[in-house]
Structure 1
Amino acid sequence: MGQARSSTSPQVILMGLDSAGKSTLLARLLTGQVMETSPTIGFNVGTLDLDKKTSLTVWDVGGQKSMRPNWRYYIDDCKALVFVVDSSNPTRIPEAQKALKKVLTEEKLRGIPLMVLANKKDLPNSMTIREISNQLDLPSYTDRLWEVQACSALKGLGLQQAFMSVNKLIKKS
């Protein structure tokens, strides 16, 4: 993945459970291609250019259970949290809800905007935005700006729009 060009682009952390599609999503955003990915041990980082003047440095942090205690080490200078869920796998949403709630208790993330990406919306029987929002208990997060958007990392649908929204959330916060 690419190197951050300058420290002026806001840092965005991409988190979520393993197999939610974070690395596929970042690779698709950075290269426009679907790349073969394997479970992320540690992190991937890249600079996403939204337009001629705006870029975001996106950190994709491994989501395996053994990696989650380390999430807090990646949140320094974080301007937004992008939490990716697999909308085609409702059985893992309770685990995602716990992981999200835990990371949002970190002092360094106080008031930081949250974007939840409902990935894999191209798959049949994927959950609705409302179902995901309610099961992740998002309405209870009254201390921060948050949004939920549907996307498909494989098809590239909704990704650019989602990160444009992330940038708007950063500017509002």
Structure 2
Amino acid sequence: MGNHLTEMAPNASVFLPHFQALHVVVIGLDSAGKTSLLYRLKFKEFVQSVPTKGFNTEKIRMPLGGSRAITFQVWDVGGQEKLRPLWRSYTRRTDGMVFVVDATEAERLEEAKIELHRISRASDNQGVPVLVLANKQDRPGALSPAEVEKRLAVKELATATLTYVQGCSAVDGLGLQPGLERLYEMILKRKKVSWAGTGRKRW
């Protein structure tokens, strides 16, 4: 895992034929649990992962109730400091961003805050919805989603940026389904506003 070529950065248009799949990028500091969350979603079980050196990508199909489902093409990008400049190659033209933090590492939240604000304010990412996952809620001492939201100053992101903070756990899958459902709703809302602005109806 995590040893794919970093040059293979995605182009969102490849994954959005007629709105069939949504392109989502998972980023965050190293050791936040990004890859474990990805494989919890994919395989419905906890997978102990090694640090991601490039990226991982999986297609995730999530039920929305009844016979409806949505497909996410998820790109999980390494979070080591030397890899963070590459994030913009993956977030360019993405439909949504998932920013993962380790809720048990309060001392790294200031560092996470800086990276979150930097990537969300990049010119290519203006207005892209952001789901913050406060991971490792299964562990003692994990900060609540409300506290994580406060420390990351999520509400200080651009007013045009839809955001939501969800507590979760890669170990038992807690919070992942409602988090992705909320991300889907934010993406949908942004697309509807965009389509209305162009006067085109896409469905």
In 2, the alpha carbon distance for the partners of 1:54 and 1:26 equals 16
Q: 2:87 is paired with a residue of what secondary structure?
A: helix
C-alpha contact 2:45 2:172 (8 A) present in aligned 1: no
Structure 2 length-normalised TM: 0.80
1:92 pairs with 108, 121, 130, which one?
Answer: 108
Q: 1:7 aligns to what?
A: 15
Structure 1 residue ranges, 4+ long, deviating more than 4 angstroms after superposition: none
Among the aligned pairs, what percent are the same residue? 38
Structure 1 length-normalised TM: 0.94
Cα deviation code 1:50-91 (max 9, x no counterpart):
124411111100000110011111112201110000001100
2:168 pairs with 117, 141, 151, which one?
Answer: 151
Cα deviation code 1:118-140 (max 9, x no counterpart):
00011111111221111101111
Please tell me the residue identity of whatever aligns with 2:60. Answer: L
Q: 2:137 is paired with a residue of what secondary structure?
A: coil
Structure with the larger helix share: 2
In 2, the alpha carbon distance for the partners of 1:26 and 1:130 equals 23
Residues 1:82 and 2:98 are matched in the alignment: yes
2:31 pairs with 7, 10, 19, which one?
Answer: 19
Cα deviation code 1:106-165 (max 9, x no counterpart):
111100111000000111111112211111011112221100000001111111221111
**Which structure: larger Rg?**
2
Q: 1:134 aligns to what?
A: 150
Residues 1:125 and 2:133 are matched in the alignment: no
In 2, the alpha carbon distance for the partners of 1:7 and 1:69 equals 23
Segments of structure 2 that go 5 or more residues without pairing to the other structure are 2-9, 191-203
Q: Which has the higher contact order (CA 8 A, sep 6+)?
A: 1
C-alpha contact 2:113 2:152 (8 A) present in aligned 1: yes
1:166 pairs with 166, 183, 186, which one?
Answer: 183
User: Cα RMSD between the aligned structures?
Assistant: 1.5
How many residues are paired up?
A: 170
Please tell me the residue identity of whatever aligns with 2:44. Answer: G
